[in-house]
Structures are given as C-alpha cells and as structure tokens.
Structure 1
Amino acid sequence: MGIDLHRRRTVLVRMGADGQRLGSMDRFPSTPEALRAAMTAAGPEPRVVLEATYGWYWAVETLQELGAEVHLAHPLGIKGFSYRRVKNDERDAADLADLLRMGRLPEAHIAPAPTRALRELVRYRAKLSRWRASAKSSVHAVLAKRGVAVGMSDLFCVEGTALLDQLSLEPAYAARVSSLRDLIAMLGTEITGFDFVIAQVLAGHPGYRAIQRISGIGPVFASIFVAEIGDPARFATADKLTSGAGLTPRHRESDATVHRGRITKMECGGRRRRPVRPTVSRLGRLSCRWWAGSTFIDRS
C-alpha cells in the first residue's frame, strides 16, 4: 500500500505482489480516524509506505497501532518523481507502493517514539538558543549604528550589562535595545527550563554520560548526539555514522574523472552546527555496549 500524505487530504493506493492495482484509490481527510477507516480493508499486517513529509509522525503511529509493517520513504531518494510529465497524488502513492514491492525503496529511519519525543525537546532548545543569539546580534547591530564602542568580549556579562544600563540612546534605538534585552532574558529562562527537562529525561542514560567523557562535549552536545543518533547499533561502522550525520563529502565519478565536493548535509543539522566531524568519527569508534547500559569502553 502506498500513501501520499498531505496536510488536508491523503491518497491511498493498494497494489498486489504482481504490481496490479487492487481496487480504486482512496482519498480521505488527513486525520487518524479517517486513516483507520481506510485501513479496514487492508487485511492483517499490511505493508505500507509513505514519504517522510510534513507531519508524518501521527500517520506512522496510527499505522503501527493497526499492526501494519510501515516503511518511510526518504524524500531525496524519490526526488525523480518531480521530473515525470504527469505528477499527481495518485501516481505518487502508486509509485511508492511499486518501489516497496520491488525492494527498491530508498528508506528513512523511523525512530522510536521516545527518541522522537526527545528530539522535540532538544531541537526546540536549539531553536531557542538560535533566537537568543539572533537577539544578541541585534543589540550589537544597534550599538554599531550609534557608534557605541564595546570593549568587552561578551556584551552580556556583568560589565557589558552595566554598559547597556548606562547608555543614553535616542528613543527609537533605546526602545529596541530594551525590547531585545527583555527577549534575551525571557529566552534565557526558557532555555534553562528546557535544560532541566532534558536532563531529567536523560538522567541515568549511559550514553548521555559516556559521551561527555569526550573532550569538548558537555550536556548540550551530549543531548544532541543522543537524540539525533538514537540507537548507534544501527550504524555498523564509524564511517556509516559519519555518513548518516551528513558529514561525508559529495562524490561524483565518471570514467577517469572524479569530483569531490562539500559535505552532503543529508541529515539533521543539529549534528553539524559545530565542528563535530572528529567527535562523530570518534563516537562511532566507541563500543556500542556503553549505550546499552554496559561499561563504557573507549576503543579509539
């Protein structure tokens, strides 16, 4: 069965092992209740494929509750759909089912529900941090416009805060700086709160503690690695883990010509926002036993 999931409507196509369509396609609202109703004629343990598009969590969870064998198609792997002369939801769903039937489906990993929940926390915490950094940069921009020299490396330390308190700016610029400082303080409070929640979720996690034994990895980076990598046992080697993190260079080879480009960036950016390639490579060389709860062993 192939499913083309959209925000408002979903299309479902049934296909037999011989590639023949079974009945007509179903179009229904994109809700768990409608999906359950559409799956009533699927039989026991159907094989279902859908693309990893916007909002796929609820669909995968609903299908798994119904006992389906769910496969998640990687969007980049089926990019060729866009080059067809005729492209519509029914054709997309049928092509997904056909790729699954032939064993040629480019699959994406379906992380367990607890890992997806942890990612929500970690990724939102990272977003809050980016918003705070943007607000701080805006304060620097306002001071630069008014020719205010900043003599300290951190404008938001005690000395920098004293400087901001003593500033005498025109009303428009003063109002913006005041608003930005309020936002920075509010975002700082939110970040601290999420740090506490994430620490509570990962309390007792052996991998979370073990990763912090690597130089340069603290609680924030450790939580990112645990959330984004999930179960490291799904990577057979350190090279596969590095590739999964999107840190491998692009490779183009034809005849005697070879071109190597920039890193592929094909995974979540949370693992690439810092110079972490050596860390990811070393992490892959660690024994996976510490992640499962055994003794930490560094085999680098």
Structure 2
Amino acid sequence: MQTTKANALYAGADLHGNNVFLSLCDQEGNTVFRKRVKANLAAVNAALDPFWDRIVALGVESTFNWYWFVDGLHEKDRNVKLGNPAKMEQYKGIKITNDLTDADWLAEQLRLGIFPESYIYPKETRPVRDALRRRQLFVRRRTQVLLSFGGLLERYGLDAPGARKLEQWTLKDIQATGLDEFVQLQLETLLEAIRESDRLAKKVEQQVLAVAKPTKQYRRAQQVPGIGVALGMLVALESGDFSRFKSAGDYASYCRAVKSECSSNGKKKGKNNAKNGNRYLAWAFVEAATYAARFNPRIHAWYERKKRTSGVPKAKKALACKLAKAMWHVMNGKDFDEKLMFG
C-alpha cells in the first residue's frame, strides 16, 4: 500500500530493558494501535508488520540501550528517529504518566513535526568511541585508589608519595613502613589495583589510538592548546561529524561550556538544563583548559586575570568555552591561531 497523507501513521516506542511499549496514531492524532512486546527485533517487527507500509516514521528516546533497536530497524530500511529526552517533556499539568502516555507522546510529536531528533552516531565507529569511554572508568579508579593509598599512609602519620614516586614503589617499600601486617596487606592490594588500572587504561588507549591516529579530525584537534593524545582522541570521537554544529557557540553549548540560565524581564529566574550536552566533552575541555593555562603564556595571562575577577571555577569554565569554540573553527578548516580565542 502506498502511504498517503490520509492513511499515514506515526509510531512511538517506549524502550525499556526487557520490553518495548508501541503506540501508533493516525494523521488526526487518533490512537490506532498500542501493545507491549518483548525487547527484541522479532517481537517489534511482528507487532508492527501490518502497519509498516503506512508508518511514516518511528520515534524512540535516546536511552541507554537504543543501539540494538535503532540499528536493527535501520537494517530493515525503517525510518527510525532517535529523540533527545531533554527536549520532549510532556505537558506538566498531566496527572498520570506511564509507558502508554510516553509512547503516545513520541508518536504525537512525530505527527506534529516537533520531534527533537538526536544525532545517531555512525555504527561503524561507535564501538571505538565507547571503548575510549570505558578507559575513563580505569582512569577514575586509578585516581580513587591513589587517594585511598595516600589517605591510608597519612592515617598512620606517614607522608603520602606523589603519583610518580608511587609508580616506583615495591613490596620492600611497603614493608619499610613498619606498619601492621594487615595495613601492609591493604597497601599491597591498593598498589596492585593502581597498576592494573594503568595497564587496562593503556591497553584501551593504544588500540583506540591505532584507529584514531590516521584520521584528519584527530590530527587537527591537537592544534588547539591543551589537547594532547588522549584528549585529541576523545574530542575527535565524541564530536562525530562537526558539520552538525552550525556555529562555534552551538558546539560550545554541546560541550556544556556555556552558562545555563533562565531570565524574564531582565531578572534571573533560575537555571535551565545545565546537563544538556556531552559530559565527556565537558570534562575534556576543562582538562584542556588546565593544561593550556599552565603551558601557554598568553592563555596563562588571560586565565590569571579572569581568575582574579571571577574565581577559579568560572575562569576555568570560561577558558574551556574559548577552547571549544576554537576547536570548532579548527575542525572546520582554519589553522589554530590565538585570534580564534582572543580576537
């Protein structure tokens, strides 16, 4: 059957870990089908099989487990749209919300043409990006264990060695502390955890670098001050296609590097969604700001002035914003110049 405006249908899928609630509405907004099915492609396709030739689009929220759903239906040439949950809040006055109303609302937004689409990261490189995200788990664990190691020594009146000195520690150094055998056991296991976290982080980094290093985006990213090997990989992989950002400001906003506020009649009324954007890029540009302020003379001078007037957090966030905007220009063909940051 050929889809016409009169018989067109719009589908919403409320996706969960073990089930999917499906809803279809027609051009007039009337619900024509609702069903909860198991979370697998066979069940979804079987439920929607009588309607596929009339379905204009199917919308699903960008939840933690959308990969299998969107990729699987795309392979069947279904028009699936991934939605941004932060931009699709239902009417606040509604008394009851559940899976049914959520699926209905997804379909309704498609019908009205207001469905807030999210970027669908290419399937081919998505596992590489996700591997780099997992690397951060090991980096964080290493930091946590280092702090625990230092805290344990200080608890017994001993000075905690720095991270670099700790890398040289052996079992003899632990025994030389003269602490109780069970305290030494704690130190020994913590030291092993630090080294294991290091090993796993480096293993991921090396394999991701082998994929990222030949790419143009990775090479250009390192033109920006504060961006080295690890941050270069992260920026290149997390940003994806830079053409989706219309301006440097849009990219900085995606990196959570701009302020979030709500005002009316010149008065501040609160904050908007400060978490809207990519948390990995937000972390990356704050890290880049730390290094850039330390090693680049002009950036250091600007940062120190900003710090005196606004304090460390605001100064670092402002510098992260400038770096993110400079990155957008670099990724769109301009070679880095400090004028991109300071005019």
TM over 0.5: yes
Runs of 4+ off more than 6 Å:
159-162
| Contact 1:247/1:265 (8 A) holds in 2 | no
Q: Which residue of 2 aligns with 1:292?
A: none
RMSD, aligned CA: 2.4
Deviates more, 1:100-109 or 1:88-97: 100-109
Aligned-partner SS, 2:49: helix
Aligned-partner SS, 1:272? helix
Q: Is the 8 A contact 1:247 1:264 kept in 2?
A: no
3-state DSSP of counterpart to 1:246:
coil
Name the TM-score, length of structure 1 as normaliser: 0.89
Give yes or no for the alignment of 1:172 onto 2:182: yes
Between the aligned partners of 1:258 and 1:277, the Cα distance in structure 2 is 22
Match of 1:297?
335
Query: Cα deviations across residues 247-291 of structure 1 (Å, max 9, x unaligned)?
Result: 2111212123246769923223211222433321210122524xx
Alpha-carbon contact 1:3-1:11 (below 8 Å) kept: yes
Distance in 2 (alpha carbons) for counterparts of 1:83 and 1:194: 47
Map of 2:330 onto structure 1: 286
Structure 1 residue 146 and structure 2 residue 156: aligned? yes
> Is 1:55 equivalent to 2:68 in the alignment?
no
Letter of the 1:52 counterpart: S
TM-score by length of 2: 0.78
Q: Corresponding residue for 2:303?
A: none
**1:138-194 CA deviation, whole Å, 9 max, x = no partner?**
101111111112365744243799744632211222111111111111111111111
Structure 2 unaligned runs (5+)? 1-10, 290-319
Structure 2: distance between partners of 1:157 and 1:233: 43
Contact kept in structure 2, 1:6 and 1:54, CA below 8 Å: no
| Distance in structure 2 (CA, Å) of the matches to 1:8 and 1:133 | 35
Gaps of 5+ in 1: 290-295
SS at match of 2:82: strand
Give, in angstroms, the shift of residue 224 of structure 1. Answer: 0.9
- 2:297 maps to none
Paired amino acid for 1:168: G
Maintained 8 Å contact 1:207/1:226: yes
Q: Give the Cα–Cα distance (whole angstroms) in 1 for the partners of residues 156 and 238 of structure 2.
A: 42
**Which residue is 1:103 aligned to?**
113
1:235-254 aligned within 5 A: 235-254=245-264
1:277 and 2:325 correspond: no
